[in-house]
Structure 1
Amino acid sequence: MAQAIGVPMMQATQTFIAQAIEVPIVQVTEISTVEATEISIIQATELLRQFKYCLKFKIQIKIQLQGL
């Protein structure tokens, strides 16, 4: 089942993260599997926003490396 939803899930996750942190993401290459918890999407979005600058830095480095 995981393989069947893998591609749509990656696309949806890429869009969700890009919107949450307001940073365009070239590609989501890996998604860790997590169990469903009581953390809501709103809480998850807020956590992503808290790490916005760290994620921006990592994405910029990745894009720079890909451009070499």
Structure 2
Amino acid sequence: MEETWRRIMALLSEHAPVTAREIRPPAPASDLDHLRNRVGFELPPELLAWWALMDGVDDQRVRGAGYLIPKGYLPLR
């Protein structure tokens, strides 16, 4: 997943820089621990791996950045 994400970000940076700028850096481990404790169960490993690469998009600013993620869906942070 990590190599694929690097390729996606390289392509976005070249062809869709506005969208690339809106993608958050990796989620802090402390935030993931807090979320895990808050929901009360283990999160899927694939989701944790994804959040370790990027922390979603800023849902207050992403409106003009295009749709990296399927239209109408914004991952929770």
Same fold (TM over 0.5): no
Task: Give TM-score, length-normalised by structure 1.
Answer: 0.28
Q: Structure 1 or 2: larger helix share?
A: 1
Task: Give TM-score, length-normalised by structure 2.
Answer: 0.26
